[in-house]
Amino acid sequence: MTPANGVLVEDASPDSLAAAIQAARLNFAGTDPSAIAAPIRARFSRSTVGMLFEDVYGRVLAGTGATGSRHG
């Protein structure tokens, strides 16, 4: 989340959540929804998340002496 695509709340109280919804409504009025969604989709796409998991598992396996990473 960045200020370009969301609003953080201080706590999970109804008042804070309501204020964040109102702030987002004002901040993003007239903004193309696809412009907000594009970086989020890229960051959490199947291929990106898959590569992140593969990297973590590869580092774990490297620490155990096993092999398993397909990317080196």
Q: Determine the Cα–Cα distance for residues 49 and 55; give it in Å rounded to an integer.
A: 10
Dump pLDDT digits (tens) for 36-66. Answer: 999 999 999 999 999 999 999 999 999 887 6
Q: Determine the Cα–Cα distance for residues 18 and 71; give it in Å rounded to an integer.
A: 45
Residues 27 and 55 in one domain: no
pTM score: 0.55
- Structure-token pair, residue 39: 């970086």
Residues 25 and 55 in one domain: no
Residues 20 and 38 in one domain: no
Q: Determine the Cα–Cα distance for residues 70 and 59; give it in Å rounded to an integer.
A: 12
Torsion from C-alpha of 71, 65, 53, 1, nearest 10 degrees: -100
Dump pLDDT digits (tens) for 8-20. Answer: 998 999 999 999 9
What lies within 8 Å, CB to CB, of 71 at 6+ separation is 51, 54, 55, 58
Residues 43 and 71 in one domain: yes
